[in-house]
């Protein structure tokens, strides 16, 4: 999205949220979010209950940084919530965040999960794991490298190769194995696909149940969300058809990424924004992340939910996320170079 196009899109938000900056100052906070609304609603409800501060959420699936740039000094954005280290560093590099030095936040979030300059903070981690058919896959151990083995030809499903979740994994492969080896691996993975990449992570579990593939890449938290989905009980069937394999558990560990937060550069409700950021880093919110969103909390000593524990024990890859982010451009280029999204070639 170009800045000019983004500028055209801000008018309705400006009309609704910017009518009077002073009017919100005592009781509201404005959140620009890449996170799905249903994932953050329990947290924001708890925050409002505790503080009385109303939360206004603008959800975007792309163009968040461009939007804030286009709004400039008049941007209503107070807090940015997003997934993936790349989107956090993108926001920082684009100049739409401001540094935060906060004793509560720094106490609750370990140093390796926050920007050294205070421009972003990790809130949770999630593993990029393998969903495997309980009925058709006997293996209980696997590596990412093995996904390129011809024995899996026609048996793997994934979402779009350019999606940030997959780019993060592919970037970690470059960091560990080098660009040339990753290109060869990615070509092998592509050749093992059962169909063109499509859908989301939950759709991959659905495809396994339907017999369209035996393995898929997916995030850990989606399994918890499917297993406990009362509104769409068919998702329980999708989750029941798979088991979670933690790749590279016997060597470097499973690739993990983060969800995180940042303080917007021109936050008009800065005090309320900092209250929200403190809340999200502390125990109650970290428990909600674990129990209702099924992610791994970053707060030291905080436990994952029993549902997540049932998947098995994760050994996280300790590769610094900054190193992964540094390889994302190369990873994206490789996806296009090997024609990953074209699917398998007969």
**Where does CATH 3.40.190.10 sit in the chain?**
3-124+257-301, 125-255+310-342
Flag whether pLDDT at 67 surpasses 80: yes
User: CA angle, 26 as apex, 22 and 30 as ends, to 5°?
Assistant: 80
Per-residue model confidence as pLDDT tens digits over 151-179:
999 999 999 999 989 999 999 999 999 99
* Matching CATH number, 125-255+310-342, of 3.40.50.300, 1.10.490.20, 3.40.640.10, 3.40.190.10: 3.40.190.10
pLDDT at 74 over 90: yes
Closest CA to 247 of 275, 276, 219: 219
Over residues 132-140, the mean pLDDT reads 97
Compute the distance between CA of residue 209 and CA of residue 237 in angstroms, rounded to an integer.
8
pLDDT digits (tens, 9 = 90+) for 195-227: 999 999 999 999 999 999 999 999 999 999 999
Quote the distance between the C-alpha of residue 35 and its chain's center. 8
**CB-side neighbour CA atoms (13 Å) of 340:** 29
Q: Topology of 3-124+257-301 in CATH?
A: D-Maltodextrin-Binding Protein; domain 2 (3.40.190)
- Binding-site members are 221-222
pLDDT of 186 higher than 50: yes
Name the binding residues for Fe cation.
Answer: 221-222
Q: What is the pTM of this model?
A: 0.84
Res. 346 pLDDT band, cuts 50 70 90: low
Instruction: Dig out the tokens for 43 from the structure.
Output: 């947290």
Average pLDDT over residues 269-273: 97
Please state whether 15 falls in left (phi above 0), alpha (psi between -120 and 50) or beta: alpha
Residue 94: closest CA among 117, 114, 64: 64
Interior CA angle at 82 toward 80 and 83, to 5°?
A: 165
Question: Higher-confidence residue: 244 or 39?
Answer: 244
What are residue 55's DSSP bridge partners?
A: 29
112, 258 contact by CB (below 8 A)? no
For β-strands 242-245 and 296-297, DSSP reports them as unpaired
């Amino acid at each position: 999205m170009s800045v000019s196009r983004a500028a055209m899109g801000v008018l309705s938000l400006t009309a609704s949220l910017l009518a009077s900056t002073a009017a919100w100052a005592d009781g509201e906070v404005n959140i620009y979010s890449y996170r799905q609304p249903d994932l953050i609603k329990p947290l924001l409800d708890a925050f409002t209950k505790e503080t009385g501060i109303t939360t206004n959420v603008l959800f975007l699936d792309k163009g968040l940084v461009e939007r804030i740039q286009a709004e400039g000094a008049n941007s209503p954005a107070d807090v940015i919530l997003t997934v993936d280290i790349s989107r956090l560093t993108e926001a920082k590099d684009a100049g739409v965040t401001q540094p935060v030095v906060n004793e509560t936040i720094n106490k609750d979030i370990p140093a390796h999960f926050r920007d050294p300059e205070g421009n972003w903070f990790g809130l949770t981690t999630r593993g990029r794991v393998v969903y495997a058919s309980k009925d058709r896959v006997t293996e209980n151990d696997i590596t990412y490298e093995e996904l390129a083995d011809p024995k899996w030809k026609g048996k793997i499903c994934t979402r779009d190769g350019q999606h940030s979740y997959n780019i993060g994994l592919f970037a970690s492969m470059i960091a560990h194995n080098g660009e040339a080896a990753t290109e060869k691996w990615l070509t092998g993975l592509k050749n093992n696909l059962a169909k063109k990449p499509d859908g989301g992570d939950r759709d991959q579990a659905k495809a396994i149940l339907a017999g369209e593939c035996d393995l898929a890449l997916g995030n850990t938290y989606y399994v918890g969300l499917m297993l406990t989905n009362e509104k769409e009980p068919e998702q329980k069937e999708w989750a029941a058809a798979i088991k979670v394999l933690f790749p590279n558990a016997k060597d470097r560990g499973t690739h993990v990424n983060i969800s995180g937060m940042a303080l917007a550069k021109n936050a008009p409700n800065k005090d309320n924004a900092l209250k929200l950021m403190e809340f999200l880093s502390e125990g109650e919110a970290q428990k909600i992340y674990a129990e209702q969103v099924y992610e791994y909390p970053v707060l030291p000593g905080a436990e994952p939910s029993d549902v997540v524990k049932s998947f098995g024990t994760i050994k996280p890859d300790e590769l610094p996320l900054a190193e992964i982010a540094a390889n994302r451009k190369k990873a994206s280029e490789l996806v296009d170079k090997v024609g990953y999204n074209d699917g398998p070639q007969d």
